[in-house]
Amino acid sequence: MAKYFDVHPDNPQQRTITQVADSIRAGALVVYPTDSCFALGCQLGSRDGIDRIRSIRRLDDRHHFTLVCQNFAQLGQFVQVDNDVFRAVKASTPGSYTFILPATREVPRKLLHPKKKTVGVRIPDHTVAQALLAELGEPLLSSTLLLPDEDEPMTQGWEIKERLEHSVDAVLDSGGCGTEPTTVIDFSSGEAEIVRKGAGDTSRFE
């Protein structure tokens, strides 16, 4: 049965954030809010977490997982960013964007796109997500909480708790959450390719 944690959107209770972070370190799969919509998250090296996310969302091995990072310094440990791409990514973070970039050796092979050796990265502009990342001290392996055969993500924490009661270990809720997934920009070729138009403005990449 999933645990439900309700925190203040602007000043999340540290005790609760620590409890959720500790559960992630212990192998939990959690639902947490971001500046775009709710996401599924687990520890970076959790094979079980990856398999559970794939099962919930019915994903194949070509799906790009996302490393949700606290800041740019952390992001730079996991992807290769040249100067031109650096400026473009820096100008759009934190924000509702996911960037697909060549991965460094720090990224577990199971997370990589099988042919491209790339991974998604993002830095959320969301107080609760940032508090959780700060407590963890490492990126969250994440995927948008978009269920199979549904066009839009769920936006209410209590509804997620009811529907995924036996599929996740915890739901972290801070009230209203966005309704659109991130905008996805693929920089793996060095040029910006818009893969998905979402919450982030695409005009600067067109």
How many other C-beta atoms are found inside a 10 Å radius of the C-beta of residue 94?
17
Superfamily the domain 3-199 falls into? DHBP synthase (3.90.870.10)
Q: Where are the domains of the chain?
A: 3-199
What does the pLDDT look like over 93-133, one tens digit per residue? 999 999 999 999 999 888 888 788 999 999 999 999 999 99
pLDDT of residue 98: 97
Interatomic CA distance for residues 137 and 130, integer angstroms: 10
How many other C-beta atoms are found inside a 10 Å radius of the C-beta of residue 55?
10
**Positions in the chain whose pLDDT score sits under 70:** none
Question: Can you tell me whether residue 15 is helix, strand or coil?
Answer: helix
Beta carbons within 8 Å of 68's beta carbon, 6+ residues apart: 34, 39, 41, 121, 122, 123, 124, 129, 133, 139, 140, 141, 142
DSSP state of 116: T
pLDDT of residue 140: 97
Interatomic CA distance for residues 17 and 20, integer angstroms: 5
pTM of the complete model: 0.95
